[in-house]
Chain A
């Protein structure tokens, strides 16, 4: 039943964007839960925000930029230490097709 705020198709689309494999049971469960949450947040629709700017940070931040000076990084051994797969030089990943 796709008669709420979000359809099963939308749930599948969002899951694809987020790279989450979901089975049909999970899709339906999430559809219901997201529907309830979206129903709750719909209360924001009534708030007048005309002429307001969004607050991406609540407090103005004036932090200095970084000087263009090299700092020590990781050795290759340490960089690759946690890799699920590596050839000793780089991170081995499932084959990437050029242009895929």
Chain B
């Protein structure tokens, strides 16, 4: 009989820091530029060039550390990791080895409806390697593009606390979410700005010590992480069940075959000869600096959800939807904030109004890409539009019409209203009373039902009024009038 095995997983995530320039030089980090057009003597490792750390990169790394409960060190240091490879311009990678910026920390996330907390070992800052373009120019040689070389990364190293591929995926999704909301990383897996190495081992259930682990390198989709871990677990169990031993090694993931494969290069006994980079003095972030970063850091989705459900009148579902992407959350924040600032209604009403409108109208055609999102109408314009509805100068229905026109024409609310000749809703009780009396008189059966306590027929009367007034009546006024006149 096959024994039962437990899976043990630790993840190392490389997340690109959302900076304008590289970690040690002023070259841009824009994705997709023509090869070797974002390079300089520093990132090409030319003789005599020197690295100078990017302040923003260090700040973003500290912000990530603070949000993930790390001990953010007031003094950290860069070391050199020495090895030769064509994508490494200097013959060493500058990375924080012995004294990383962030120590410890943890991440809590849901696996199904179960909460799980995974410990973090460290979050350190390092530079990315360049890109080997294989087979370019005839296929015989490798061609190297240094545009990516020197891009700032944080490496988030978890403890071996994960127990399944499903947990690993949930951890990664949550981690990406957090980093995106902090503005630290754009979460773009396809562009390689969020990559994962998985350390996987298995052990018989009940065994204390860990089994021999393998490291699967550079997996760049959530699906592949799950598949690669599942494959690797069954491979390792297979090895053990057939009496073999798992070899500690680096493995690659082939998403075509759906298998991991050994990457061990036999001739290279790894000895990275780490030592403090003598070109770089220690990075000093004093307590005040760290506190200021903590205060200025953007809020995380769970913080926003808690605030929005308790103060802004949102249901948990609304809050979940509106924290689906940092740009959407920011959009809602701007619209709701503007409505609340108008002071026309309680905050919870303003929040609900904004949430309903954004979910019903705005989210229909939002496009997100990384940290960016394109909205058909800017938040400020929607806020302006909704404040008119709030003030009663537009009905809700008119608001939707105007929005749809704004989205297609790109005009502001005022321009659309003027162009379409949208009339302010009739809230003049005198003007409406005649119409309403006539409608009641024309529908005696429904009137009787109402008086008998079937108040649902109110909706019928509202509809009639709206039809007669072609939607221009102010719903609140209509409701109030109907309730009074139907009693008569």
Contact = CB atoms under 8 A, between A and B. Distances in A.
A and B: interacting chains: yes
B238 interface: no
B28 interface: yes
Interface in B286-307: none
Interface stretch (A1-9, A23-31, A40-48, A61-69): A61-69
Contacts of A64: 55
A90 B148 CA distance: 13
Given A68-B56, A70-B27, A79-B36, A96 B281 contact: no
A90 B284 CA distance: 37
A74 B141 contact: no
Interface in B392-410: none
A44 to B, nearest CB: 17
Interface stretch (B18-26, B171-179, B360-368, B377-385): B18-26
Interface string A39-83: 000000000000000001100111111111111111110011000
B243 interface: no
Contacts of A61: 281
B37 A91 contact: no
A65 B76 CA distance: 13
Interface in A80-94: 80, 85-87, 89-94
Contacts of A93: 86, 141-144
Contacts of A87: 136-137, 141, 143
Nearest to A85: B141
Given A92-B142, A93-B144, A66 B54 contact: yes
Nearest to B152: A68
A72 B141 CA distance: 30
B58 A65 contact: yes
Contacts of A17: 271, 273
A74 B39 contact: yes
Contact of A92 (B141, B263, B276): B141
Judged by DSSP, the binding face of A is loop
Contacts of A69: 20-21, 26
Interface in B253-277: 261, 263, 265, 267, 269, 271, 273, 276
Contacts of A95: 140-142
Nearest to B262: A99
A75 B133 CA distance: 19
A42 B207 CA distance: 46
Contact of A57 (B56, B84, B134, B278): B278
Contact of A96 (B38, B53, B142, B271): B142
Contacts of B140: 95
Interface residues of A, number: 39
A91 B144 contact: yes
B20 A70 contact: yes
B288 to A, nearest CB: 16
A55 B12 CA distance: 32
Given A80-B36, A91-B86, A92-B143, A70 B28 contact: yes
Nearest to B277: A56
B104 interface: no
Contacts of B263: 98-99
B281 A65 contact: no
A87 B352 CA distance: 59
A99 B251 CA distance: 8
Interface core residue of A57, A79, A85 (most chain B CB under 10 Å): A79
Interface in B29-67: 34-41, 43-44, 52-58
Contact of B54 (A65, A79, A85): A65
B36 A90 contact: yes
B134 A66 contact: no
Contact of A79 (B28, B39, B133, B250): B39
Given A61-B281, A99-B265, A68 B57 contact: yes
A70 B21 contact: yes
Contacts of A99: 250, 252, 261, 263, 265
Contacts of B37: 75-76
A92 B137 contact: yes
Interface core residue of A62, A63, A71 (most chain B CB under 10 Å): A71
A74 B278 contact: no
A76 B36 contact: yes
A76 B35 contact: yes
B54 A90 contact: no
A73 B134 CA distance: 25
B423 interface: no
B84 A19 contact: yes
A66 B36 contact: no
Given A63-B281, A89-B35, A99-B263, A74 B41 contact: yes
A81 to B, nearest CB: 11
Contacts of A90: 35-36, 133, 136, 143-145
9 contacts: A16-B267, A69-B26, A72-B26, A85-B141, A94-B86, A95-B142, A96-B87, A96-B132, A99-B252
The 4 closest A-B pairs by CB, nearest first: A71-B26, A68-B56, A99-B263, A87-B137
